[in-house]
Structure 1
Amino acid sequence: MLLSDVILKKEYRSFTDDIVNSFYLPLLKRANLYQRAVGFFSSSALIELSFGLTELLKNGGKIQLIASPRLQEDDIIAIEKGYEERKSVIEKAIMTSFSEPKNYFEAERLSILANLIADGRLDIKIALLEENGILGIYHEKLGLIYDYSGNCVVFTGSLNETSTAFSHNYETIDVFCSWTEDADRVSVKCKAFNSLWNNEVKKMEILDFPIIAKEKLQSYKKETIDFELDNKEYPKTESVPTPHYEPSFTKGFQLHDYQKEYPQIENVSTPQYGPSFPKGFQLHDYQVGAINEWERHGFRGIFDMATGTGKTYTGLGAVSRLSEILNHELAVIVVCPYQHLVEQWVEDILKFNMKPIIGYSGSSQKDWKQKLDGAVRDHKLKVKNKRFFCFICTNATFTSEFVQSTIQKVKGNVLLVIDEAHNFGSTKLSSMLSEKFSYRLALSATLERHNDTEGTEKLLNYFGSKCIEYSLERAINEKKLTPYKYFPIIVTLSENELEAYTVLSNEINKCIIVGKNGKNKLSEKGERIALKRARLVAAAVSKLEMLKEKIRPYIKDSFLLVYCGAASLLNEAADYTEVDEDEIRQIDAVTRMLGDELNMKVSQFTSKEDVEEREILKREFEQGENLQALIAIKCLDEGVNIPKIKVAFILASTTNPKEYIQRRGRVLRLSKGKDYAEIYDFVTIPRALDEVSSLTHGDMKKDLSLIRNELKRVEEFSRIAMNTMESDQVIQEIKEAYGLNEEIMVDDSL
């Protein structure tokens, strides 16, 4: 966090510049020492001095203030002729300079200064100019702002600390920076102030601030500080140009690459190199415990944490811990399944003072390959401040020949962080888990792979043991996620859909083979047919009319999500999941129904929208005025974070516990004003329940595969819902119809 990160103008004028937001706030946010000569002392001068001090307060910074007493002619004559003691005259002059605060903001600002004095972080001295017994006025207007690295910004000019300086008077200040061609001038000003402060200037007398005046200032002290005071009193305005803050990036990095996608980089503070925690940021105890456990296991392990409980922050905290221990001699490789998840990671990586190289086919960093190659070279040669780098990419990019060959060139410490690590249990991705990575971290809400114990075992063998298991139920109980009401909605297949379902089920039964572990599994052909059957169930036509019925009570509400399609698989060679034609037909039909028939403000949210379009949609959705509902395919799987979702209508869900548990977790993220979430889960069964009793034993058996798969999800969702009794009633109706009450529910995904 350096002063040199701030782009400053040479001159600021109060009528054309927002001096508070563009000068004081960004600088004092990075400062540890503020030296100020303000001219005459007064309480209004103190108030104007306080702009930005909440940021200095957070940094643990200090203030040194020099002021001159506002002496009247009678006071000067009395001192010169010795009629009164100098001390009492000065005390009286300072005390008469206090005036009571006129409003909330003035009262709060005096309280901030009182707190600083009480903490020993504000020191005030009084300056008197005297030559041959004649008193003069010390009225220099000078400011010096330092950061922890010794950088200094000096400003001088006509800006008076008076109650009208920022708003009514026409004031100007000139600015000089120690890291520019003004370095000599800055040095002179620094020495001049310090000489004055230490009472080393001839014809000047520096006196301690009177105790009685300190006591007066202490009378304004409040126990709590409003840290948003500056933002409240001086909000940024569009009409006033404000500079942005430009961190110093790694070799070859162009800031505009980030600014296109990440305007919030303006608020990122960056050390010279290496990650660090954001100012004021604290992890929860369970997150710290996970990192401690990871360290105890030699910086290898698994964070098994429910969606929405802070896996990313815990992972970045682990990266920061290891990097600090290794003196920032570390290469970090972060891998995510989808490009949209990469983008979300980048937002958080920036907060941790890292400047990631972003690698995937549509990356805004068009030269990311050159950046990665250069970063690996600098790391290998241990170039100063270049011994740390962070590269983030998709699964597909990670498996590319270029990335694999480049990573092999890395010498020294390498940390591999895999998000949604269950994907790496597959044959292709698990082959990329090289011994090259001395440090390893896997993140997943559900590490165990569905119907793939061999793949799960590969992950456990490579990453090590679980350092934390933080379940969704625990997260809700500990108020890290929102509680929810669950409403399973029964829908049935049409006659044609049921016929097709039966045919596909018969074909699947012919594709059962014995796996290596002796258990039955589907052949590749069988898996393709099963996927086709799952798509048929996901796109059941009866869901549309049922959706129209269930969404009517919310027709005027906002923060709604309709989730379509759930049957496509992640292509390991692609950066995003392609959408099936059945899913497109369903989402288009839902969009027409809600938008045209019900006149709701809706928008699709799919992989067709690029990053910029998605960000616009998210902002509109969060505002809740121009966009009531998002109609999405895959967005919950891809890790898109939209906390404001309050009501979700899930039209399609897979049989994979990993996927439907993750989707539920994404609806439960905390958000202001969201006391609980509501989930409408469209549960597909082959036929109406009142028809089941007339089925033959053989026909009923054909239904059970779908029934069991749906019931597993419904029972899991119902288990910790707020309205368990209500949702359990639906479960019992299905079980009674199919005679499953006495049967132990077994895994039957075929």
Structure 2
Amino acid sequence: MSLKDLNLKREYRSCIDDIAKKFYIPVLSEGNQYDRAVGFFSSSIFSQIYKGINSLIKNGGRVRIIASPNLSEKDIVAIREGYAKRDEVIKNSLLRELKKPINAYEEEQLNYMANLIADGYLDIRIAFVENDIGFGIYHEKVGIVHDSSDNIVVFTGSPNESATAIVDNYETMDVYVSWAEGSEKDRITDKLNAFEAIWNDIEPRIKTLEFKNVTDEFVKRYKTKSVDYHGYTEIDSGIEVKEKAFFRIPENIELHEYQIKAIDNWFTSQNCGIFDMATGTGKTYTALGALSSLSKALNDDLAVIIVVPYQHLVEQWVEDINNFNVQPIKAYSYSGNKWRKEFQEALNLYNRGIVKNFCVVATIATFISDDFQKLINGFTRNFCFVADEAHNFGAQKTRNILPLKARYRIGLSATIERYGDEDGTEALRKFFGKTSIRFTLKDAIINGFLTKYYYKPVINYLSQDEYDEYEELTKKVTKLCKSSHEEFENSDYLKMLLIKRARIIAGCKDKIKNIAQLMEEHKKENYMLVYCGTNKYESSITDCESDIKQIELITKKISDIGLRVRKFTSFEDRNEREEIKAMFSTGFQIQVITAIKCLDEGVNIPNIRKAFILASSTNPKEYVQRRGRVLRKAPGKKFAEIFDFITLPRKLNEVKYIDNSTKECDMTLIKKEIDRMREFAEAAENTNAVDDLIESIYQAYGIL
């Protein structure tokens, strides 16, 4: 047979035709040369058209591909502005795409492609447009197939050269054949000449380059074994591919008894449950151990979606997951990330049973996006949904899109209860199920998983101006509290008042004086952390030229005392954060870290010996997490000290001069501060540290 003997249509549409089976495979099987110019190329195409490609190779043929580099916006700017050499930027972008295969099926695809390159059957060149502004993307889509009888088939249209393009997207292709009469022959000639001109780098305004060092690296990374093209069948999508073991506990990790019990309870509850575990007690490893047991029980036939609050936690999870024998897809926005394509292709293969497993780790911001929701709703087979810091998922926007299709579910949190949000807490319990384990911070200290600590309250007093503002806000809050239940529950104005009032407490100016005094007393010590609030101070009350955030002012004060200090906030990128952590761990390069909220969830800096908490909300979740962060064990760390900055409305010897209504206003603040002191003191070595203070407060206010 030849190309001329095929019964080809003039047009193919993916909604009607199986483009791979009806066009690609029969055409390539009769060919001996395949030329493809395309905007995007992926090795996944081989899973769909392998039979055709392999037949073409057995016919003595070869494949030539012209594709565009996958440049980020930063890459393009660097080229246009002359910050970096064009060829070097393109080479780095190509190397950046050489990622580890996500499963055995993809590994097989890449090995096949690497063999084609190594054996001289596949040649790839990179093209881009040189224009008036310096650089543009080459995005033509044309394919040309020759056979041994000089018959030619040309196709043009929307599909890229990837599995997703020809299987899942809505794509169209127009087909032209050399044995047709009339203008069709001229069209084919034009396409042939254009391809050859681009391939040989003589097409005006289009630059074509070879990157032999990149193709050499591709072969080096992905060629795992040689291929016998005449007897090769393993990549055929109709033949089951043996997968690697999916999620296995490493030999160097041994779970504790309480973690094993949590996993057993989770299985008893039909693999749905909440791991309510204090910070530092191994929530991540417990979840990965549960996934390992589930994967083994299901013969590794399992997809896993893990969602975490922040980008840095994605990276931490991925590092741990790698140790459990899995290479996950990272789903969040960063330069060069193609998670949508990777997720879509993995999902397609999983739903069709071609691959048995895959894993995605995403941020909450990505999880709630339309793109991610469309993909996660596309599952037609069972999968496991894991939510880290699961309390965050109780918010109205998030709880309404929790994936009900997930057959298996794990919610991880040190405090699953949402403060002041019973509906959110109930929604989480309804979705995730029963609590598989409750392992408190006190349990962790008693069992030696967290370090012991001493609790030291530091008393601060509101100034008259601060108190006047606090009192005015409290009166407005009290008035709202007397309104109807529905009005009270849904009041954005109330939330705004409470936030303003909390900021007064967090930003109490007395704290500036007291933290400076404490830092002076500890100026020769290391491993210190200062938690700050988000409020600002006006220039009129500081020695600064303009308004300044609390963390900026505190950092400046500490530096002025002579201590080596660095901020750890959302403005520092990942590399800066790693540098800060490394310098802090030495014990002398950095003595003090100042932080706001980004240390609350997931960041591990175990060397912290002394923590100064200037700002704590009334939400127990926040101060439980902060305490757990400080109590992580480290070599040479015998205990930790927590200096909690308590705010009182006035000095206790002044209480006798105020009236009862003012006392009532004072108590709205005092009660919350006492609740927190008791919570902190309960698990401390000096449990009675706050008893005398609380007693003196009650006596001053005449409370029995």
Q: How much does 1:736 deviate?
A: 2.0
Given candidates 355, 361, 373, the residue that maps to 2:344 is: 373
Q: Is the 8 A contact 2:459 2:645 kept in 1?
A: yes
Q: 1:360 to 1:583 in 2, by over 3 A?
A: farther
Q: Provide the rounded CA distance (Å) in 1 between the counterparts of 2:446 and 2:615.
A: 28
What does 1:649-688 correspond to in 2, within 5 Å?
A: 649-688=612-651
Task: Indicate conservation of the 8 Å contact 2:507/2:535, yes or no.
Answer: no
Residue 289 of structure 1 corresponds to 261
Note the C-alpha offset of 1:477. Answer: 0.5
Q: Per-residue displacement from partner, 1:360-390 (whole Å, max 9, x unpaired)?
A: 233x65111111111111212222xx42111
**SS at structure 2 position matched to 1:511:** helix
Given candidates 333, 337, 341, the residue that maps to 2:305 is: 333
Q: CA, structure 1 residues 556+728, in 2 after alignment: closer, same or farther (shift >3 Å)?
A: same
- The residue aligned with 2:427 is 458
Change (3 A) 1:611 1:515: farther
| Residue 730 of structure 1: how far off its partner (Å) | 2.0
Aligned partners of 2:307 and 2:361: how far apart in 1?
Answer: 6
Output the CA distance in 2 between the equivalents of 1:672 and 1:619.
Answer: 15
Aligned partners of 1:273 and 1:388 also within 8 Å: no
Q: For residues 683 and 249 of structure 1, what CA distance do their matches in structure 2 show? A: 63
Alpha-carbon separation, structure 1, partners of 2:458 and 2:437: 35
**Aligned-pair distance for 1:247?**
8.8
User: 2 CA distance for matches of 1:247 and 1:735?
Assistant: 70
Are 1:426 and 2:395 an aligned pair? yes
Matched with 2:457 is 488
How many residues align? The count is 463
Aligned mates of 1:732, 1:366 — CA distance in 2: 58
State the one-letter code of the partner of 1:344: Q
CA displacement at 1:583 relative to structure 2: 11
Kept in 2, the 8 Å contact 1:513–1:522? The answer is no
CA distance in 1, matches of 2:633, 2:656: 44
Equivalent positions of 1:614-625 (< 5 A) are 614-625=577-588
Q: Aligned equivalents of 1:555 and 1:660: distance in 2?
A: 25
Deviation at 1:434, TM superposition (A): 2.8
The DSSP-based 3-state class of the residue aligned with 1:423 is helix
Distance 1:514 1:323 in 2: 53
Residue 637 of structure 1 pairs with residue 606 of structure 2: no
Equivalents in 1 of 2:437, 2:425: separation in Å? 17
Contact 1:531–1:567 (Cα < 8 Å) also in 2: no
Aligned equivalents of 1:615 and 1:283: distance in 2?
27
Partner residue, 2:445: 476
Q: Provide the rounded CA distance (Å) in 1 between the counterparts of 2:399 and 2:317.
A: 22
* Number of the residue aligned with 2:11: none
CA distance in structure 2 between the aligned counterparts of 1:328 and 1:566, rounded to whole angstroms: 46
Matched, 1:347 2:319: yes
1:636 positional shift: 2.9
Q: Which residue of 384, 392, 404 corresponds with 1:415? A: 384
Contact 1:420/1:445 (CA < 8 Å) preserved in 2? yes
Residue 73 (structure 2) aligns with: none
Distance 1:352 1:248 in 2: 21
- The aligned runs of 1:492-571 (5 Å cut-off) are 492-512=461-481, 521=489, 523-565=491-533
1:447 equivalent in structure 2: 416
CA distance in 2, matches of 1:737, 1:443: 43
Return the alpha-carbon distance in structure 2 between the equivalents of residues 350 and 365 of structure 1.
21
1:704-735 deviations in whole A, cap 9, x for unaligned? 11111111100110112111223322222222
Aligned counterparts of 2:683 and 2:251: Cα–Cα separation in 1: 36
Please tell me whether the aligned partners of residues 560 and 645 of structure 1 are also in contact (alpha carbons under 8 angstroms).
Answer: yes
Whether 1:305 and 2:277 are equivalent positions in the alignment is yes
Q: What do the CA deviations read for 1:42-89 (whole angstroms, capped 9, x no partner)?
A: xxxxxxxxxxxxxxxxxxxxxxxxxxxxxxxxxxxxxxxxxxxxxxxx
One-letter identity of the residue aligned with 2:458: I
Runs ≥4 in structure 1, deviation > 6 angstroms? 246-250, 513-516
1:479 offset after TM fit, Å?
0.4
Matched, 1:648 2:619: no
**Residues 567 and 369 of structure 1: CA distance in aligned 2, closer, same or farther (over 3 Å):** farther
Pick from 669, 672, 681: which aligns with 1:709? Answer: 672
Q: Specify the alignment match of 2:247 in structure 1.
A: 275
Percentage identity across paired residues of the two chains: 44
Matching residue's letter, 1:688? K
Structure 2 alignment gaps of length 5 or more: 1-103, 105-113, 117-216, 225-242, 537-545
Query: Does residue 739 of the first structure (1) align with residue 699 of the second (2)?
Result: no
Q: How far, CA to CA, are the matches of 1:702 and 1:677 in structure 2?
A: 35
1:609 paired with 2:572, answer yes
CA distance in 1, matches of 2:452, 2:222: 43
Higher mean C-alpha deviation, range 553-562 or range 671-680: 553-562
Give the TM-score normalised by the residue count of structure 1: 0.59
3-state secondary structure, aligned to 1:327: coil
- Per-residue displacement from partner, 1:638-663 (whole Å, max 9, x unpaired)? 32111111100000100001111111
Residue type matched to 2:268 in 1?
Answer: R
Name the amino acid aligned to 2:301. Answer: E
Aligned to 1:599: 562
1:3-152 matches, within 5 Å, as none
Residues 1:380 and 1:467: Cα distance change in structure 2 (over 3 Å): same
Deviations 1:322-381 (A, max 9, x none): 11111222111111122222222222122212112111233x651111111111112122
Cα 1:505–1:468 change in 2 (3 A) is: same
Alignment partners' CA distance in 2, 1:248 and 1:473: 49
- Aligned residue type for 1:431: N
How far residue 444 of structure 1 moved from its aligned partner, in angstroms, is 0.6
Contact 1:511 1:522 in 2 (8 A): no
Cα deviations across residues 96-126 of structure 1 (Å, max 9, x unaligned)?
Answer: xxxxxxxxxxxxxxxxxxxxxxxxxxxxxxx
Find the aligned partners of 1:432 and 1:331 in 2 and give their Cα distance. Answer: 19
Distance 1:606 1:482, change over 3 A: same
Q: Is the 8 A contact 1:303 1:443 kept in 2?
A: yes
Helix, strand or coil: the match of 2:454? Answer: strand
Answer whether contact 1:341 1:639 (CA < 8 A) is retained: yes
Say which SS state the counterpart of residue 646 (structure 2) adopts. strand
Q: Distance in 1 between matches of 2:454 and 2:221?
A: 45
Q: Amino acid of the residue matched to residue 344 of structure 2?
A: D
Q: Partner of 1:691: helix, strand, or coil?
A: helix
Amino acid at match of 2:438: E
Q: Do the aligned partners of 1:583 and 1:633 also contact (CA within 8 Å) in 2?
A: no
- Taking a change above 3 Å as real, the CA distance of residues 703 and 397 of structure 1, as seen in their structure-2 partners, is same
Q: d(CA) in 1 for partners of 2:437 and 2:429? A: 13
Separation in structure 2 between the aligned mates of residue 708 and residue 428 of structure 1, nearest angstrom: 32
For residues 323 and 333 of structure 1, the distance between their equivalents in structure 2, rounded to whole angstroms, comes to: 13
Change (3 A) 1:722 1:248: farther
Separation in 1 of the partners of 2:264 and 2:383?
19
Letter in 1 for 2:350: H
Shift of 1:521: 4.4
Query: Within 1, Cα distance between the matches of 2:605 and 2:653?
Result: 40
Do 1:305 and 1:471's aligned partners in 2 also have CA atoms closer than 8 Å? yes
Whether the 8 Å CA contact 2:488–2:494 is kept in 1: the answer is no
Alpha-carbon contact 2:462-2:647 (below 8 Å) kept: yes
* Offset of residue 612 of structure 1: 1.1
State the Cα distance separating 1:600 from its structure 2 match: 0.6
Task: Name the counterpart of 2:551.
Answer: 587
Is the 8 Å Cα contact of residues 611 and 642 (structure 2) preserved in structure 1? yes
Structure-2 residue corresponding to 1:576: none
**1:358 and 2:322 correspond:** no
Alpha-carbon distance between aligned partners in 1 of 2:679 and 2:623, rounded to the nearest angstrom:
10
